[in-house]
Amino acid sequence: MFYEPEMRDRALLPHDPFKALVAPRPIGWISTRSLSGAVNLAPYSFFNAICGAPPLLAFSSEGAKDSASFAEESGEFVWNMANFPLREAMNASSAALPRGSSEFEHAGLASAPGVKVRAPRVAASPCSLECKVTEIVRLKDLSGSLTGAILTIGQVVGVHIDEDFLREGAFDLAAAEPILRCGYAADYATLGPMFRMARPG
């Protein structure tokens, strides 16, 4: 089967499979603070690490939502790992609340202050990464038209790790139980069995 995205056979594929094909994806659970002090917390499925040296993260907001707006005006954001014990709180933080309402309060989450940034982090998260914005890109399509999506890139300037998840100097990802975003409206996953495979010399 081959099709061009805008010409998908909707009888055969009533649901666009794009997000199911590029999956699972880590969840960008992003906390921000505006210059006026308003705090926002929201999960993003278009998120990932994009560079190792320096460590860079990126999340894409489909529209100028609070996370993207607050990150742009403050120059900061925090990524928090959403894990299985926090799944319901993560989902609750995606609710469309009135501007100025606290997703932390709505989701029953305690916040903790940042060290290098003013944005708070999710206190119960197994790990959080404090970031300073390095670049903001308004995404375009092939015609050069703006899509409305905003890609925010940040450099990690601070790392918080719950020491309960350290094993012999390494972060135990399986024990942390991160949840991952899959393809369709309500689909998530956790890590299955892990395996090791060394890169060829």
Q: Tens digits of per-residue pLDDT, 128-180? A: 999 999 999 999 999 999 999 999 999 999 999 999 999 999 999 999 999 99
| Tens digit of each residue's pLDDT (9 = 90 or more) over 36-84 | 999 999 999 999 999 999 999 999 999 888 999 999 999 999 999 999 9
> Could you tell me how far CA 87 lies from the centroid of its own chain?
13
Entry pTM: 0.94
Separation of alpha carbons 14 and 186, rounded Å: 16
What residues does 189 pair with on adjacent strands?
180
Q: CB-based contacts of 121: which residues, under 8 Å, 6+ apart?
A: 31, 78, 80, 111, 112, 113, 114, 128, 130, 160
Question: At 151, is the secondary structure helix, strand, or coil?
Answer: strand
Separation of alpha carbons 184 and 138, rounded Å: 25
Q: Tokens 């940042």 belong to which residue?
A: 114
Residue 194: its pLDDT value, please? Answer: 85
| Tens digit of each residue's pLDDT (9 = 90 or more) over 110-141 | 999 999 999 999 999 999 999 999 999 999 99
User: Is 103's pLDDT higher than 80?
Assistant: yes
Please answer whether residues 140 and 147 qualify as being in contact, where contact means their C-beta atoms are separated by less than 8 angstroms: yes
DSSP code string of 57-123: EEEEEESS-HHHHHHHHHSEEEEE--BGGGHHHHHHTTS-PPTT--HHHHTT--EE--SSSSS-EET
Separation of alpha carbons 160 and 151, rounded Å: 24
Q: What is the mean pLDDT of the chain?
A: 95
Residue 192: its pLDDT value, please? Answer: 86
pLDDT band of 185, cuts 50, 70, 90 = confident
N- to C-terminal Cα distance for the chain? Answer: 37
Separation of alpha carbons 72 and 65, rounded Å: 11
User: Is 92's pLDDT higher than 90?
Assistant: yes
